[in-house]
Chains A and B, each alone.
Chain A
Amino acid sequence: MAGRLLTGWGGTAPTRAHVLSPADGGAIADVLGGAPPRGVIPRGLGRSYGDAAQNAGGIVLDTTRLRDIHEFDPANGLVTADAGVSLDRLLAVLVPSGWFLPVVPGTRHVTLGGAIAADVHGKNHHRDGTFGRHVRSAVLEAPGGERIVLTPDGSPDELWATTGGMGLTGVVTRATIALTPIATSWIAETTRRTADLDETLEHMSAGDRHHQYTVAWIDCLARGRRFGRSVAMWGDHATVDELPARHRADPLARRDRRALASAPWLPSGLVRHETVAAFNELYFRRAPRSARRIVPLDRFFFPLDALDRWNRLYGRAGLLQYQVVVPFGREDTLRTALEVLNRSGAPALLAVLKRFGPEHGPLSFPMPGWTLAMDLPAGRPALAPVLDRLDELVAEAGGRVYLAKDSRLRPDLLPAMYPRLAAWRRVREALDPDGVMRSDLARRLPALIGRG
């Protein structure tokens, strides 16, 4: 057993675990059966920001050796693959055949298992819901020793406890996903600069009805009249007719996929107030006031993947992401949250604003409302009370913080933010009666599973 120091994408709070890389479901069942007292947690590509895929002093199951695509039927749009396969690899197979994943997060470098466990959302949540909604079946190695095939009709409680369950219900080893048909690998994108927060919210609300994908980048550092100014973006999969003539011959070819090589020359610790303010200003000014264009899907969905390991820009102390959702009607809280952050002087790079549709699993993050996400440098003790205060505001408004991004939530607010937590815990306890599944996240937020 190799002991390894692990962190999430944020690089904060490193802890050591025994990392095992099993080659099949049988080996996973063996590990779960002989689990040490500090338990087991699965880990995909470690793209959750905090400690969800860490288990100090226990076992971390690296799933990335389980990476086969078992079945892909271009006729009916279903794919069955191992949980450790990355969305990047899946897309490489699916896109040329005219299929797309039903939901994608802001990076391709997550595993199928990680996408299920966090019940990830994309820019199309208002229409298509979370990733979990498109899972036709999932094979779960439950810690009680059973291998269970979860389906939306046969075992909805267990399936929905597992989607969003942050690995705490067992290890997903394989899943079947219903795909979205596409005619091209391009997105018809409309971009629009907005002057302030009111205009941003107004445009976002209107755009939802007409487009599959929507998102806005807010400049969190803008003050005064420009407070809340944004670059709003809408997109739909382009049809062949919409493509420039030169791309019509091979409409499904991928462009812009390669990342700049991991850049050792990237100055570490570049993110400071001045550089961030300058970047935001530049980004905002470079965006067209209003434009419609055809862009490669990778540029639309995964702009950050163009820079490999960009988290290093935050230096040794690392970064955290604060992502919250507040219900529609509580735009006041959204405004206050932005104001508080603005005043705190924290150098937030562009924050992302999105509208969510209906709620899903008991521990899934999305609920109908506005979600705001921003990256912040972690080496700033002064941020702690500021974010604690925001937690309180968000909880009061009936909103919540996203566990896949979290690394510092006020533990006492978890039950208020996830009112169906008790129901989730009952399902979890039935699947894991001996409390085998453990993570640093669960230790940091004791109400999650209710043990030490």
Chain B
Amino acid sequence: MRDALGSVQSVLVLGATSDIAAATVRALVGRRARRVLLAARNPDQALALAEELRVLGADADVIAFDARATAAHEELARAAFDRLGDIDVVLVAFGTLGADVGLASDPAAIAAVLETNFVGAASAIVPIARRMVDQGHGTIVVLSSVAGERARKSNFVYGASKAGLDAFSQGLGDALAATGVTVTVVRPGFVHTKMTAGLRPAPLSTTPEAVAAAIVDGLARRSEIVWTPRLLRVVMSLLRHLPRALFRRLPV
């Protein structure tokens, strides 16, 4: 169960090899989470994290999960609840940037970004949400992005996938009203992780640990939306209202 200050006992991580996911699950175990299931495309690559979490006192295990294998998502949800019992938090952290996916890409590359970030996320979340409704409680933490606030010309496919995921998550949150299950949408800016390695940092860039702290904070406050860093809320609200002709000319 979640407690009054947002500490939780059991966590399912989808995309456990993500740097942000690793930092967050460490923070949650530091705040007394004791049962963790790490779902990753290559579960072997999550073994080290599982071991680290065991040293911190959690009972941690790994399981195979591919965001694009939607036919297996119902079974994943079943297996996760089987292993963890109640799931207090599911952290939806997988994603692909597709840094150079755009106008020049072939259709399969375009589809891969959308299938992973949007289709795969929606498909994986719903069977988990349904079981959370049955257990009468739970928090779904979804890694969206500031990129979804307004798709930029430089990565409009990724931006569109996050816009879709963000809208899906908010709508799901409303559909879950009064079920005891809530959705927290996390919108980070530029985070230094392997996803962004080699890219030029955007202003207000941050770290996985800072994002993790913001998520822990959001759980305590029962926030529906978490901006990290916080200042991005203001920045993005300005950007969102910028006239299209101007926005298009920004060097972003």
Interface residues, chain A, with chain B CB atoms under 8 Å away: 3, 5, 10, 12-17, 38, 50-51, 55-58, 316-318, 320, 378-381, 383-384, 387, 407-408, 410-411, 440, 443-444, 452
Contacts and interface: CB of A to CB of B under 8 A. Distances in A.
B135 A13 contact: no
Given A443-B1, A444-B1, A17 B7 contact: no
Interface stretch (B108-116, B204-212, B216-224): B216-224
Nearest to B222: A317
Given A10-B4, A57-B135, A381-B6, 16 more contacts: A12-B4, A13-B3, A13-B4, A13-B137, A16-B136, A38-B135, A51-B1, A56-B180, A320-B5, A380-B220, A381-B216, A381-B220, A387-B5, A408-B4, A408-B5, A440-B1
B192 interface: no
Nearest to A385: B31
B2 A411 contact: no
A413 to B, nearest CB: 11
Given A15-B180, A16-B178, A384-B31, A378 B5 contact: yes
Contacts of A317: 221-222
B228 interface: no
B85 interface: yes
B179 interface: yes
Given A16-B178, A379-B220, A57 B136 contact: yes
B4 A318 contact: yes
A347 to B, nearest CB: 15
B9 to A, nearest CB: 7
Contacts of B6: 381, 384
A383 B3 CA distance: 12
Contact of A14 (B3, B32, B180, B216): B180
A443 B86 contact: yes
DSSP majority for the A interface?
A: loop
A384 B8 CA distance: 12
B52 interface: no
B135 A381 contact: no
Contacts of B44: none
Interface in B133-176: 133-137
6 closest A-B pairs (Cβ-Cβ)? A56-B136, A57-B136, A407-B4, A16-B180, A12-B4, A381-B220
Contacts of B4: 10, 12-13, 50, 318, 320, 378, 407-408
A131 B220 CA distance: 34
Contacts of B136: 15-17, 38, 55-58
DSSP majority for the B interface?
A: loop
A19 to B, nearest CB: 11
A377 to B, nearest CB: 10
Contacts of A10: 4
A62 to B, nearest CB: 16
Nearest to B219: A381
B206 to A, nearest CB: 18
A320 B5 CA distance: 9
Given A15-B137, A17-B136, A56 B1 contact: yes
Given A12-B4, A16-B179, A380-B220, A56 B32 contact: no
Given A381-B216, A381-B220, A384-B31, A13 B2 contact: yes
27 contacts: A3-B179, A12-B4, A12-B5, A16-B136, A16-B178, A16-B179, A16-B180, A38-B135, A38-B136, A56-B86, A56-B135, A56-B136, A56-B180, A378-B4, A378-B5, A378-B220, A379-B221, A380-B220, A381-B220, A384-B5, A384-B6, A384-B31, A387-B5, A407-B3, A407-B4, A440-B137, A452-B85
Contacts of B3: 12-13, 407-408, 444
A58 B85 CA distance: 15
A34 to B, nearest CB: 18
Contacts of A380: 5, 220
B217 A381 contact: yes
Contacts of A5: 178-180
B48 to A, nearest CB: 26
Nearest to B176: A16
Contacts of A51: 1
A58 to B, nearest CB: 7
A91 to B, nearest CB: 30
A266 B7 CA distance: 30
B147 to A, nearest CB: 27
A56 B137 contact: yes
B110 to A, nearest CB: 40
A21 to B, nearest CB: 18
Contacts of A316: 222
A411 B32 contact: yes
A404 to B, nearest CB: 14
Given A16-B179, A56-B1, A384 B7 contact: yes
Nearest to A440: B1
Contacts of A38: 135-136
A407 B86 CA distance: 18
A13 B86 CA distance: 15
Contacts of A16: 133, 136-137, 178-180
A13 B219 CA distance: 10
A98 to B, nearest CB: 42
A452 B217 CA distance: 26
Among A5, A10, A318, max chain B CB count under 10 A is at: A5
Nearest to A441: B1
Nearest to B135: A57
B8 to A, nearest CB: 10
A28 B221 CA distance: 37
B218 to A, nearest CB: 9
Interface in B75-114: 85-86
